[in-house]
Amino acid sequence: MRAGRAELRVNAATVGEALAAIVAACPALADMRRPDGRLVPHYLLSLDGKHFVTDLTETLPNDARLLLLSADAGG
């Protein structure tokens, strides 16, 4: 909702590049990243719905789908 769109296509070779492209396209999400580029603790990033990623250098396969999840206060 904060991004203003349900999906965004970016060209990125790594998770870190994808996060940078997401923030560039959706400035309202800038607070999802720490100064070092990692996600703040109340966000999770799932790669293809198979596992959560935290390593910004992880290579993204072609046509990978990242799902950005935010924790809601109160559970």
Is residue 20's pLDDT more than 60? yes
Beta bridge partners of 39: 33
C-alpha span between 24 and 57 (Å, rounded): 18
- Whole-number percent of the chain with pLDDT over 90: 49
Q: What pTM, to 2 d.p., does this model score?
A: 0.83
Q: Which of 37-41, 51-55, 68-72 has the lowest mean pLDDT?
A: 68-72
pLDDT band at 73 (very low <50, low <70, confident <90, very high): low
Is residue 21's pLDDT more than 60? yes
